Structure 1
Amino acid sequence: MQISKVLEEFFPTECGGDFIRIGELAQRTQVPTRLLRYYEEQGLLSPMRAENGYRIYCETSVTRVQQIRGLLDAGLSTRTIRSFLPCLRQSDDSSLPPTCVTPEVAGALQQEAEKIQKLIDSLTRSRDALNAYLATLHPALKSDPARAAKREGRSQSSLASPFRGR
């Protein structure tokens, strides 16, 4: 890659010579460039800048973005992720070294786990309420063929009528 040779002169030790632009990072991680810029704003990514202002990322940024996505998918906030992201190894391993788990980080992770549990509990109650409501409707639907057909995705005209064909 020609850009690597130019950048090695400016950033010789930052990436070990392997550089990618934001478009390639977006393509390889399946994360839109807009989100990558947001991660930068939130302090989760720190790209270098070329003379023309383009963002230049290390090859290791691919793994870092995957880690960020996994943590966000797990329900963590960008603020919480930022507090321990520097401790994560540059590998697929998302475990935290014990030396990085400060009382503050442990407290933040515990709060996030509790917040997720509350959300799970709320969603479970909502699902159970909907299922109970549907269970009370089910007998009523059986006595009304038009409503039953609608619920099952059939049109009323497809219902058998004792008067058809006479």
Structure 2
Amino acid sequence: MRIGELARRAGVSTRALRYYEQQGLLPARRSTNGYREYDESDLKLVSEIRSLITVGFTLEDARPFVECLRAGNDAGSACPESVEVYRRKLAEIDEQIHTLLGRRAEVAAQLADACPGCALRTGGTK
């Protein structure tokens, strides 16, 4: 398939596909007329990249998953390097949560000082 079809089927722009190619995540095979040619395995690579980006991974984070798929595994998470990226990302998220909870406690304390009778709402911004 050509780049436009891959972009349509993967739900990304052709520009994104060219960028993935530039970053070494998506192989670019060329036909005799110079057009990029892709197959179903490339669709799987792009889908893996997009699903990781959607939940906050970077393109560099996605690299081990792509390499795992390219090595013939059914899932990008089947390799130890991918599992390590998951662990690192969870640790980052845990640290962000810890930081946000600390900030929340500080803002709640400031609100209590500024408005002793104000009720502190939890669970949203209504």
Residue 128 of structure 1, CA deviation: 0.7
**Counterpart mapping for 1:1-166 below 5 A:** 20-73=1-54, 75=57, 77-86=61-70, 87-89=72-74, 96=78, 101=79, 106=80, 108-139=81-112, 140-141=114-115
Q: CA RMSD in A?
A: 3.1
Unaligned runs of 5+ in 2: 119-124
Cα-to-partner distance string for 1:1-59 (whole Å, 9 max, x where unaligned): xxxxxxxxxxxxxxxxxxx2212211221222222123223433223212332212124
1:84 partner letter: C
Is contact 1:22–1:56 with CA below 8 Å preserved after alignment?
yes
Is contact 1:21–1:54 with CA below 8 Å preserved after alignment?
yes
Identity of aligned residues (%): 33
Where 2:37 maps in the other structure, the secondary structure is strand
Residue 66 of structure 1, CA deviation: 0.8
Q: Distance in 1 between matches of 2:99 and 2:15?
A: 34
TM-score (norm 2): 0.67
Residue 126 of structure 1, CA deviation: 1.6
1:88 partner letter: N
Residue 94 of structure 1, CA deviation: 5.3
Is contact 2:65–2:77 with CA below 8 Å preserved after alignment?
no
Where 2:38 maps in the other structure, the secondary structure is strand
Q: Distance in 2 between matches of 1:83 and 1:114?
A: 18
Unaligned runs of 5+ in 1: 1-19, 145-151, 153-166
2:67 partner letter: S
TM-score (norm 1): 0.54
Matched residue pairs, number? Answer: 115
Q: Distance in 1 between matches of 2:84 and 2:42?
A: 28
Dislocated runs of 4+, deviation >6 Å: none
Q: Distance in 2 between matches of 1:112 and 1:59?
A: 25
Relative to structure 1, is the Cα distance of residues 113 and 59 closer, same or farther in structure 2, using a 3 angstrom cutoff? closer
Is contact 1:21–1:56 with CA below 8 Å preserved after alignment?
yes
